[in-house]
Structures are given as C-alpha cells and as structure tokens.
Amino acid sequence: MEKNNFRVMLAGNPNVGKSTLFNLLTRKNQHTGNWTGKTVDFSTGLFTYNGRSYSLTDLPGAYSLLSFSPEEAVTRDHLLSESSDCVIIVLDATAVERNLRFALEVLSVNQNAVICLNMTDECEKNGIFIDSEKMSAALGVSVVKTSAAGKKGIALLLKEVEAVCEGNKKPESAELSLIDLSTADSRSSAVSLLTQISKRIIKDCVTIKSDRRNESQQRLDKLLTSKSFGIPAMMLLTALLFWITLVGANYPSEWLSALFSLIKSGLNELMSLLKAPEFLRGLLIDGVYTTLSWVVSVMLPPMAIFFPLFALIEESGYLPRIAFNADSAFAKCGVNGKQCLTMMMGIGCNACGVEGCRIIHGRKERLIAILTNTFMPCNGRFPILIALIAVFFSGGAEPKSTLLSVLILMGITTLCVAMTLLVSKLLSRMIGGDSSSGFILELPPYRKPRIIKTIVNSLRDKALKVLGRAMLVAAPAGAVIWLTANISINGSAVLDHCVGFLEPFGKAIGVDGVILIAFILGFPANETVIPAMLMAYTQSGTLTDYSGYGQLSELFSANGWTALTAVCVMIITVFHFPCSTTCLTIRKETRSLKWTLAAFLLPTALGILLCAVINCLYTIFA
Amino acid sequence: MKLRFPLWTLPLGKSGIISSVNSESATAERIRNLGLTEGAGVRAVFFAPFGDPRAYEVNRSVVALRRKQASEIIVETEEEDGEKQFQGHAGGES
C-alpha cells in the first residue's frame, strides 16, 4: 500500500445519506434515492485532502453487523476483513436511536472511526437536539455534525478523518473494546450490553421533544395511502409523468434529427473530397453514423425527460409508499411487495432492477422478482413504445392525441404489471422452497427533492450512459446491419436471407422477419432495435433521412405495417429476452445457468403467446 | 392492570409498548433492527388501502408490517377504556 494513499470506508444504516456523502467527497455521481436498499454493492472513489490522497469505499447500508442478509453481509465482511485507516460511520440524526446501535457495533470491531451525524438540520427542525461533544466523550471517537445534502460540516469531517488516518487520534472507549461479536456464545451478552450502552448515551446526549413525526409528514402519508385516494394518486402521478414525457419529447427529437442530417450531408461531402471508396463511405455513414444518429434522436429526448422526473419522485420518498399500497396484491400472488421497488428500478434499467432484488430476503420471492424483472420496460425500450405510439396512434401534438398516447402507455404499463403479478403467482406455485419472508419495510420521511441537482445529475448520467452505449453498441451494430444488407450471397443480401428465413415465423405472430432480426440484433442493447428496423427496411444505402415521426410512419406503412403490427411490436418490445447486460447480471445474482436460461425464455415465450392470442382475437373479431 | 395483545390489533392512532417479538429468529432480527425492540413505544399510524400491510411509528420512523409479522409482536397498554377498544374488530379492517 502506498504511504500517501489512505483507505476510508463509509458505513451506516440504509438510507442515511452515505452515497450523497460519497458523491460529495469523490465528485462522482453514484445514483442516490430516498429508500432503503438503493445501494446494494459497494463502490470506490478517490479524493484528496491536504495533499494526501484517499480512497473512499461506499458500503451498502446495513442495520446490524450480526445480520445475515446478502447486502448486509457485504458490509460486515468489509468492516471485519479489510484493513482500512478510518471508517466514517454515517448516522441519520433523525433516527439516532436505531442508528447509534449500529455505530456501537462497528466501534466494537473497529475504533479507527469518525461518527458523521448526518441530516442534522432536518433533525433540529423536528425538535431533536444532539450534544455531539458529550456523545464524542461517551463513544471515545469524534462526532461531527453534517448535512451532506446541504454540504455542511464536511470540512470538519475531513479534518477528523485525516487525524484518525495519521494516527493522531487514539480511540478511548475501553467499554466498547470488551464487546465481542465474533463468536455465537458471546453474542447474546454483547447484544444486551450494546443495548444498555446505547440507551444510556441517548439519555445523556439527546434531547427529543416528541416521539411523533411532524404533522405534515403524517398528513401526507394518510392521504397517499388512503382507501379513496391512495391508488388514484398513484395512477394520476404515472399519467402525469407519461404526459410530460410525451409532450416534451416531440420537438427535441425533430431538432436533433434535423441537426444530424445536416452533419450527415457534411460528412458525405467530406468523404467525396477525400475520394473515399464507396464501400467505406456506405459502411461509415449509412451504417455506423446513421444508426448512431437514430439512436440519439429517437431515444434520447424521452429518456432525458422521463428519467429526471422519475429521479425526483424517487428522491421524494414516495416509491416505498407505492410498495406499501401494492403489497396486498403481491401477497395474494405469493410474492413480496418489495418486488414493486425492484420493478420500478427495472424501469430505469433491468440489470439494476435484478441487482436490486437483493432487498428481498426470501430466496424464492427474490428469484421470482429476478425472473420477472424484464417485464418492466427499461429505458432502452421505453422510447420504442413512445415512438410507436406517436407514429401509429396519435400523430399530432394536440391535447386530444397526447391524452390518447398517455392512456395507451398507461394500458401497456398495466399489462406489464398484470403479467408480472400473474407470472409471479404461477412461479410461486411451481417453485418449491421457503415460505414468505413477510413484508417489513421502512417508510422513509418525505424529503423535498433537490430539484436542480437531481435533474442535472440524472440528465448527465443518463445522457452520458446513453451516448456511451450508443457509441459502444450501436456503432458496430450499424456496421453489421449495413454489411449484411450489402454483402450478397447467391445474388441476394445476407440480410435478405435472414429476413426471409424468419419471415414465416414473424408473420405467424403478426410481425415480420425484419422486426425479429431487429430484436435479435438488439440483444446487446435494445436502443438499437428501431434503427436496425429502419436500416433493414431502407437497406443498401437508399435510405431516406429520418426526420420526425411523420416519416417513420410512411416508412413503416410502406413495409406493410398496420396498427395490429404496431401492437404486436410493442408487446414484443416489453416481452422478449433480456439484453445481454441483464442476462449477465441474472447469471451473477442467481449463480445458476438454469435460472438465467429461464429468465431468457420466460418473457420470450410470453411475448410470442400474447402476440398469437392478439392475432387470433383480431381475425375472429375484425 | 396492563393489557397485552398483538400489535396488529392496535387501533389506528393508538400506541403501546412492545413487550415481545415472537417471530422466528431471522425475521425477529429484521424487525428489531428497524427499532421495534422490546420496550420501544409504538403507534399505529396508517393502513394500506386494502387494510394490509399497516404502518407503525417507532422513534419517529415508520415501519410497514404485514398482518403475519404484526401479529407476532406483542404490545402492552394501560387498561383505561381498553376493554372496549381491543376486541377484535379494531382498525376498521375489511
């Protein structure tokens, strides 16, 4: 280990602001949210202070070192095994009683620590006053009051961390050193001793005006979970989210594509100036560049609106309330209401959703949540739905057609949720194993989202992520599609052979060969599905530039699409095999090839089945 | 005299003191980790639209529990007019 590089860890209960502090110190952009279990794996970043460099590890939240849940095990193992120079124990001052227990547990195994009493401004507003000096004396380590969200107290915290790292501060609590958590025998006496110490410290150092939450929080909860308003509020919020996304995404999409086609003609001129061979020009511009620009112009605008809005809701603390409201439906299907949280994470990214399933304790419930997570359309697939709805069901921007789009999106979302519940119920009957792990979930306080910061962060993260993925995946995919469309075997293009091969199967479920090829080529990233379709339809370089939904409509109609085709494509968009990243994550999380395969086949089979049913119904009734 | 009964039957808005958590060990541990420990004051604050799960306030934080878990936690209150309050139909459940 380098002498100049100190190792610092962040530990604490879930949802106490560790990731916010981590981001603040390392200037990274770890995603934060206001609910338990947002961070399930640890991440590491660097920062410098007083000319020294520090590596900082953000551990997943844990309630106790004695626990055995997977996400808490990561934290425990790190605290016990890794040699760190300092542990920053982050406590949520508003729930100091529960948090202090954890701090004591950590201190009993590692006293090279600084206590960071976070969210102190919120806590004083709620009538809780903590004497940090007294607490520091009682614990034998420094206690610093901070507000990571408001950036208060950070300088002092760093000073204390430095002092601990350099060995200038020796821990002084003899009492805590006596506690032995390592063996099962000593554990029960250790636990009762910890409880005693914790009670005494609370009594000595903390003044609490009331054990009740403040009035507005209580009123909000009563309203948002009430019988008459709870569920409608949920629907209304979803509708609003969709409405803003649809209205907002229309114009930027057109501006972007206008910009890209301008650049394209410039690039074409450059190519002819350089006397580049036609093959190279076609590959780079008609293949790679066009796919890239489609990905950005079709996919980016809806994402750039939907995800900041979703992040704001996440930050507010409303998501666990949705899980709370919906739990009884999940209970009836033999699964856990926390699955609702992982489904909502899945809307962002299914790989994240699958990883997030660690918050579900029951092995079987967790497995089911993993298998069904891709039933929620992720940010790579969501814009496909938006584009198709705009093209086929509500072209204009007038309020009436936007309303129709919102209703269709709500319908699709309802179908996704219904299928998740239905399949969960079936799986829960088929898979043997442990019974319900129950529903035990902390409902965090509502917090006013930091609006600008949240929007900027999620825009930058999403925008960067999308562009990064577009570069990595869409570019080679564009090249592959162009090559298959332009290399001929036996007189016709490779792409035509593939399309022809899949055509009968596609027709049987109401789509065509091109659509199936597009989904198969979209395996590395679903963002490329629509570009792949367009490329295949307009192959051999004769392609018209995409400029807005109007032209998409023409192109699709020219290739035999009807409203029924669009419905089937939307269904396949939602129900088909997970993307490669998600498959790898499922493999990692389940540690089983069998279940990964099941997660691959299950949505695919469901999608085919649903399309077949819809086509049957259509032929009967129309 | 003190009255003892499962947390689940604690009516909306009423409070009690937890006297025992009788769930199997892993579940009990998770419940205690959230602050629902023996001796803690607990209050029924709001119920889900379909009556289950219910939310309980302990030390200003809120924990949601299903019927099964909340039935395994025993709370006690001072009697007062408790006899009438705690007879089964508490909480206006469907």
pLDDT of residue A601: 97
Interface mutation vs chain A, best among B30, B37, B54, B60, most A CBs within 10 Å = B60
Q: Which domain holds residue A158?
A: 5-208
Across the interface, whether the CB atoms of A324 and B64 are under 8 A apart is answered: yes
Q: What is the mean pLDDT of residues B5-13?
A: 95
Across the interface, whether the CB atoms of A213 and B62 are under 8 A apart is answered: yes
pLDDT band of residue B93 (cuts 50, 70, 90) is: very low
Is residue A305 a part of any domain in this protein? yes
pLDDT of residue A600: 97
My answer on whether A187 and A235 are in the same domain is no
Closest chain B residue to A230 measured between Cα atoms?
A: B49
End-to-end CA distance of chain A: 73
ipTM, two decimals, is 0.86
Q: What is the mean pLDDT of residues B56-61?
A: 91
Angle formed by the axes of helices A319-332 and A339-348, nearest 10°: 120
pLDDT at A181 over 80: no
pLDDT tens for each residue of A62-100: 888 876 666 677 777 788 776 789 999 999 998 888 899
Q: What is the mean pLDDT of residues A329-354?
A: 92
Is residue A140 a part of any domain in this protein? yes
pLDDT band of residue A348 (cuts 50, 70, 90) is: confident
pLDDT tens for each residue of A278-305: 889 888 888 888 888 888 887 788 888 8
The residue written with tokens 């209401």 in the block is A337
Q: How much is the mean pLDDT over chain B?
A: 84
Residues of B with CB under 8 A from a CB of A: 23, 26-27, 29-31, 33-35, 37, 41, 43, 45-53, 55, 57, 59-66, 68-69
Q: What is the mean pLDDT of residues A92-114?
A: 89
Cα A200 versus chain centre, distance: 40
pLDDT of residue A1: 44
pLDDT tens for each residue of A567-607: 999 999 999 999 998 999 999 999 999 999 999 999 999 99
Q: Which CATH number fits the domain that encloses residue A27? A: 3.40.50.300
My answer on whether A266 and A338 are in the same domain is yes
Beta strand pairing status for B73-78 and B2-6? antiparallel
Q: How much is the mean pLDDT over chain A?
A: 86
Q: Which domain holds residue B7?
A: 2-80
Å between B19 CA and nearest CA of chain A:
15
Is residue A220 a part of any domain in this protein? no
Is residue B87 a part of any domain in this protein? no
Q: Which CATH number fits the domain that encloses residue B74? A: 2.30.30.90
The token pair at A135 is 């607490």
pLDDT at A547 over 60: no
Is residue B19 a part of any domain in this protein? yes
Across the interface, whether the CB atoms of B48 and A222 are under 8 A apart is answered: no
DSSP string covering A221-269 = HHHHT-TTTHHHHHHHHHHHHHHHHHHHHHHHHHHHHHHHHHHHHHHHH
Three-state secondary structure call for residue A297 = helix
pLDDT at B88 over 50: no
Nearest to A102 by CA among A76, A84, A83, A121: A76
Candidate from B35, B43, B52 with C-beta closest to A97? B35
**Number of folded domains that form chain B:** 1
Residues of A with CB under 8 A from a CB of B: 63-64, 66-69, 94-95, 97-98, 126, 128, 195, 210-213, 218, 221-222, 225-227, 230-231, 320, 324-325, 327-328, 331, 337, 361, 436-445
pLDDT band of residue A540 (cuts 50, 70, 90) is: very low
- Residues in A closer than 8 angstroms to B51, CB to CB, are 328
- Residues in B closer than 8 angstroms to A213, CB to CB, are 57, 60-62
The most confident of the ranges A179-183, A368-372, A497-501, B76-80 is A368-372
Task: Lowest mean pLDDT of A193-207, A596-610, B57-71, name the range.
Answer: A193-207
My answer on whether A202 and A272 are in the same domain is no
DSSP string covering A551-588 = HHHHHHHHTT--HHHHHHHHHHHHSSPPPHHHHHHHHH
**Number of folded domains that form chain A:** 2
Across the interface, whether the CB atoms of A226 and B49 are under 8 A apart is answered: yes
Q: Is the dihedral of CA A365, A367, A370, A373 positive or negative?
A: negative
My answer on whether A361 and A437 are in the same domain is yes
Interface mutation vs chain B, best among A324, A338, A339, A360, most B CBs within 10 Å = A324
Is residue B33 a part of any domain in this protein? yes
My answer on whether A245 and A202 are in the same domain is no
pLDDT at B31 over 80: yes
What is residue A167's DSSP assignment?
T
Task: Lowest mean pLDDT of A126-140, A325-339, A461-475, A501-515, name the range.
Answer: A461-475
Q: What is the mean pLDDT of residues A224-228?
A: 92
Å between A432 CA and nearest CA of chain B:
20
Q: What is the mean pLDDT of residues A116-145?
A: 90
- Residues in A closer than 8 angstroms to B41, CB to CB, are 211
Candidate from B33, B43, B46 with C-beta closest to A221? B46
pLDDT at B73 over 70: yes
pLDDT band of residue A108 (cuts 50, 70, 90) is: confident
My answer on whether A558 and A500 are in the same domain is yes
Interface mutation vs chain A, best among B18, B62, B94, most A CBs within 10 Å = B62
pLDDT of residue A546: 57
Is residue B93 a part of any domain in this protein? no
